[in-house]
Amino acid sequence: MSSPTAAVKLPRPKKLTPMMRQYLEIKDRHPDCILFFRMGDFYEMFLEDAVLASSLLEITLTSREKGKETAVPMCGVPHHSAANYIAKLVERGHKVAICEQVEDPKAATKLLKRDVVQVVTPGLVTDTEMIDARLPRYLAAAVATGRDGKVAGGWGMAYLDVTTGEFRAADVGDGERLSEELGRVGPHEVLFGGDAVDEVPAWIGPGVRGALVEEIPELAAAKKLLSEHFEVPGLEGFELEGLGPGLVAAAVVLDYVERNHKAALPNVHMLARHVGEAMFIGEATQRNLELFQTLAGGRRQGTLLWLLDRTKTAMGGRLMRRWLAYPLLDTVEIDGRQGAVAELVARGDTRKRMRDTLREVGDLERLSGKVAMRSANGRDLRALGRSLGALPELLALLGDSSSALIRQTLGSVDTLDAVRDLLDRALVDDPPTAVADGGIIREGFDGEIDELRAIQKGGRGWIAELQQAERERTGISTLKIGFNRVFGYYIEITKARLGGDNIPENYERRQTLTNAERYVTPELKEMEGKVLGAQERANALEYQRFCELREEMALHLESLRRTSAAIAILDVVGSLADLAVERRYVRPHVHDGYELTLSGARHPVVEAMIEEERFVPNDVNFDRDTKRLIVITGPNMSGKSTILRQTALVALLAQMGSFVPAEAARVGVVDRIFTRVGASDDLARGRSTFMVEMTETATILLNATDRSLVILDEIGRGTSTFDGLSIAWAVAEHIYEIGARTLFATHYHELTDLSRTLEAVENMNVAVKKWQGKIVFLRRLVEGGVSRSYGIEVAELAGLPPVVISRAKKVLENLETAELDETGLPKFAPPPLEAEGAKGRQLDLFLGGDEVKRKALIDELARVGVEELTPLEALLQLDELRKKARELGQKGGGNK
C-alpha cells in the first residue's frame, strides 16, 4: 500500500497566539491532511505542513512571528490560484483540507470563525480543472468480510467517480481476483477495511493512495446507509441482488465521500454492478501487454490505449479505456460493435464529418456532474449549450445508419432543443468563471437587468461629461475623475496644478496622495450611489437568473447522462473506424469455437512505432486437435515476444469490437488472457525475482481454462538452466492438459522435443539467416524448431569482444557433443510414444560437473543484458566471464 510519507510532526511553539490555537485545534481534527488555512486572500500552511508543502510546491518557506516565542514555519498560496497547488499535492497522494473563514470579516469583532469545508483527496476531486479529462477519477474501497462466518465471505469492492456519478460495486472473492479487478479499474485512492486487511495486496502502484478504514459497517447497516443516500426504501431497483461485501464497500466509499466532501452529492444517483461478462485480463497481463502504461517508465505513449484512442470527446476517451479494459465474451454483442465500426469504415465521408462535429461536443458527462453538484459556472453552462448544439448535426449525419448499435445509440440522444435555445438566449458568448460578479446574462434576455445596465451606462456617461465640465470650470486640463473600491468616484487634481482659489467650493477633500489631492462633490456621490446601486442589483439579479438556469438544467440530468453515454459510444466506434482505415485493419470473425487463426497479423503498436522499417506480418493458427501449444524458438531479438504479444492483442481488440491488424482473422472467444514474461524481460518492475515468476506461473496453471489464451515468454529463466528447463517443460505439459491455446517462446531449444510426445504441439521458429558469419533477422515465423539458440551470434552482434565470442563458440561445441543420452535420445525428451510403456518417463538431467559449469557459462553469456549495462559494468561482467572461462579452460575442456 503506498501512501505519501507524512510530514514529521514539528514541536509546537511554546506560546500560542489565539489564531495559532484555532489553527492547531482544526489541524488536530485533520491530522492526515495538509491544512489550507484561509487568511484573507491567502491560504496559509504552518509547521510541518509548511515545510512539506513549500518543498513540494517550490514556494518560499517563511516564518510567522519571526524571532518571537510564538514563531512558526509558514508558507502560503493566493486563494485564486490555489487549485493548481492543491492539484499538485493531491497528485502526489496527499490529502488537502480546505479551511475557510466561515464568518463575514465585516461582522466579526475579533478572531474569525474558521472551519474545514472540504477535504480534497486523490480519489475525491470535484474540480475538473485539476484532473485528466480522459481518465476516470475513482475512489475505491475494498473490504473483506465473513472471516467470522457472518456474511458470505470474501472481498467486495466498489468505486466512485464523483465528477460523473459513476458508482459501481462487485463481490470479487479472493484477494488475487481483487487485485486483478482493481488493477483494471485503476483507482487513484483505495480504502481498505475488514477482516483481512493484512492481506492487502501490494499491487497498488505509485501515485495511488491507500488508506485503512478502521471500522466497516455490517451488511445490513451498509444497505441502510445506501438506501438513505439514494432516498429509496430498499436497493431492489438497482439490480444488485446477491451482492454482499460489494455493498459494504460501496457504503465505505459513500461514507468517506460524505465525510470529506461535506456537501450534498446529488450527482451520485445510482449504484451499478461492476461489469457484466467480460474477458478476464489479469493485472500482470495488463502490464505485460502494455495496455495502459508502458512497462518501462509507465508512460501512455507506446501503449495500446495510446494507439487506439482517437476519440474527440473526453467521455469518449474514458469509454475507450473501459472497452479496452473489459473485452466482451458474447459474440452477438461483439458483432454489434463491429457492425458499427464497419459502417463507419465504409462511409468515410460520414465518419469524417461525424468526428469533426464531435469536436464541438464538450465533456457532457462531467458538465452534467457539475450541474448536479450545483458547481457549474456560466462557462460550464455555455459549454453545455454548445455541446447540445452539435447534436442535431450528428443525428442528421447518422440517421440512415444500418448498424443496429448506431441506431439504438442515436435513440437515446436527446438534443434538448428548448434547453439549448434557452441557454443560447440567456448567456453571453464567453461568460466569466465567477458567477456573482455579473457579465453572464445576455443583453435582451431580461428587461430588468437591461434597465439596470442602462442606468449604469447612463451614470458613467454622466460622469464622463462631468469631467469635461469640471475641467472647463476650473481650467485644470489634467483634472480627472477616477474610481476605487474604497472611496468610490473621486475628482483628482495633481498638486502641481493646485493653485489657491481654483478649487471650487463644493469640492470636499477626501484623500491626499504624494502628488495629488482627491475630492468629491455631492452630485458626484449621488450619481455614484445610482451607478453602484444599479450594478449591485444587476449582479444580484444576474446571479439569480443564472441559478435558475442551472436549476432548469438540473431537471434534465437524466437526459443529459443518457445523451452523454450515447455520444461516448459514437465517439469510440468512430475512433476505432478511423484507426482501422488508416492502418488497414480488418474485421475479424469472432466465434464460439476453439479455432484462432490469424493471417498476416501485425503487432499494432510496434507496427506504428517503426514506421520506416517494414513490419513483417506473421501467421498464427490454433486448433484443438492439431495445434494447441505452439513452441516458438529463435534467438534473442528475433521477434518471439512480439509475435506472442500481437496474438494476445489481436484477440483482445477483436473482443472489444475493434477491427484488427491482420489480413484475415478468426478468433474463437478467449475467456482469459494470461501472460508470463520471463524475468529478464520484466526489468521495469525491478522485481524480477524467480519467486514472482513462479507465483505468476502458478496463477496461470490454477486459473486457465481450455478457452484461455496463454502467453509464456521465456519462463524458467530466473534459475539455473536445468531447473528452468525442467520447470518450463513440466509447465508446458500441464497447460497442454488443460487445453488452453498457448504460445510458448523459449530460448531452450530442447523444448521443441515436446512435440515428440504430445500430439497437438507445433514447433515454430522465427527465421534467422547467417550471412557472412553474422546473424540476420528475417522476422518470419516458420515451421519447425531450431536446434540452437544463436545466443553467441546475438552476443557478437551486441559487441562482445571477438576473443570471448570465439572462446564461447568453442565451449559450445564441446557441450553440444554431449547432447544425446546413451540411448541416443535427446536429453530432455521422454522416450517416444511407442516406447513409453517399456521405459517409463525418466529424464536424464545429469551431466558431468564441468559440463554443467560450461552450460551455465554459456547461459550466463547469453543472458548478459548488454542494453542495460553501463560501460564499466560491462567490463566488470566481461572480466568475470573471462575468469570463469579460463577456469574451465585450465581443466582441459574434456567431455565425458
Question: Which residues make up the interface to Mg ion (CB under 5 A)?
Answer: 641
Output 606 or 861, the one with its CB closest to ligand ADP. Answer: 606
Output 123 or 639, the one with its CB closest to ligand ADP. Answer: 639
List the single partner that 639 binds among Mg ion, ligand ADP, none, CB under 5 to 8 Å by kind. ligand ADP
Output 311 or 638, the one with its CB closest to ligand ADP. Answer: 638
Output 309 or 696, the one with its CB closest to Mg ion. Answer: 696
Q: How far is the CB of 618 from ligand ADP (least distance, A)?
A: 6
Residues 736-775 that bind ligand ADP (CB under 6 A): none
Cα pseudo-dihedral 702, 706, 707, 711, rounded to 10: 60
Q: How far is the CB of 691 from ligand ADP (least distance, A)?
A: 23
Output 95 or 640, the one with its CB closest to ligand ADP. Answer: 640
- Residue 242 backbone class (left: φ over 0; alpha: ψ -120 to 50; beta: rest): left
Output 372 or 644, the one with its CB closest to ligand ADP. Answer: 644
Stretch that binds ligand ADP, among 147-155, 407-415, 633-641, 798-806 (CB under 6 A): 633-641
**Contact in structure between 274 and 157 (CB atoms under 8 Å):** yes
Rounded to whole angstroms, the Cα distance separating 591 from 585 reads: 18
What are the residues whose beta carbons fall under 8 Å from the beta carbon of 234, sequence distance 6 or more?
223, 227
Q: How far is the CB of 607 from ligand ADP (least distance, A)?
A: 8
Output 656 or 677, the one with its CB closest to Mg ion. Answer: 677
- Residue from 36, 326, 543, 615 in contact with ligand ADP (CB under 6 A): 615
List the single partner that 154 binds among Mg ion, ligand ADP, none, CB under 5 to 8 Å by kind. none
Q: Which 3 state secondary structure label does DSSP give 507? A: coil
List the single partner that 677 binds among Mg ion, ligand ADP, none, CB under 5 to 8 Å by kind. none
Q: How far is the CB of 794 from ligand ADP (least distance, A)?
A: 9
The helix (run of H) or strand (run of E) holding residue 520 is: strand 516-520
Output 56 or 797, the one with its CB closest to ligand ADP. Answer: 797
**Contact in structure between 185 and 171 (CB atoms under 8 Å):** no
**Contact in structure between 124 and 94 (CB atoms under 8 Å):** no
Sheet holding 139-145, edge to edge: 209-212, 189-194, 139-145, 154-161, 166-173, 272-273
What are the residues whose beta carbons fall under 8 Å from the beta carbon of 510, sequence distance 6 or more?
487, 490, 518, 519, 520
**Contact in structure between 44 and 74 (CB atoms under 8 Å):** yes
Q: How far is the CB of 304 from ligand ADP (least distance, A)?
A: 15
Output 554 or 637, the one with its CB closest to Mg ion. Answer: 637
What count of residues does the chain have?
A: 896
**Residue 244, Cβ neighbours under 10 Å: how many?**
18
Q: How far is the CB of 601 from Mg ion (least distance, A)?
A: 17
Q: How far is the CB of 777 from ligand ADP (least distance, A)?
A: 7
Rounded to whole angstroms, the Cα distance separating 729 from 66 reads: 72
Question: What string marks each residue from 634 to 673 as x (binds ligand ADP by CB under 6 A) or -?
Answer: x-xxxxxxx-------------------------------
**Contact in structure between 97 and 35 (CB atoms under 8 Å):** yes
**Contact in structure between 109 and 103 (CB atoms under 8 Å):** no
Question: What string marks each residue from 573 to 612 as x (binds ligand ADP by CB under 6 A) or -?
Answer: ---------------------------------x---x--
Output 646 or 655, the one with its CB closest to ligand ADP. Answer: 646
Nearest Cα to 158, choosing from 92, 247, 67, 236? 247
Strands (E), 546-601: 589-591, 596-601
Q: How far is the CB of 683 from ligand ADP (least distance, A)?
A: 12
Output 110 or 614, the one with its CB closest to ligand ADP. Answer: 614
Output 91 or 619, the one with its CB closest to ligand ADP. Answer: 619
Q: How far is the CB of 199 from ligand ADP (least distance, A)?
A: 35
Nearest Cα to 19, choosing from 118, 142, 129, 114? 114
Strands (E), 271-426: 272-273, 280-281
Amino acid in the structure at residue 142: A
State yes or no: residue 782 binds ligand ADP (CB under 6 A).
Answer: no
**Contact in structure between 415 and 392 (CB atoms under 8 Å):** yes
Q: How far is the CB of 716 from Mg ion (least distance, A)?
A: 14
Residue 336 has φ and ψ, to the nearest 5°, of -60, -45
Point out which residues pair with 774 in neighbouring strands: 771
Q: How far is the CB of 888 from Mg ion (least distance, A)?
A: 28
Q: How far is the CB of 310 from ligand ADP (least distance, A)?
A: 23
- Residue from 52, 151, 616, 620 in contact with ligand ADP (CB under 6 A): 616
What are the residues whose beta carbons fall under 8 Å from the beta carbon of 645, sequence distance 6 or more?
288, 289, 603, 675, 711
List the single partner that 615 binds among Mg ion, ligand ADP, none, CB under 5 to 8 Å by kind. ligand ADP
Rounded to whole angstroms, the Cα distance separating 64 from 74 reads: 6
Residues that bind ligand ADP (CB under 6 A): 606, 610, 613, 615-616, 634, 636-642, 779
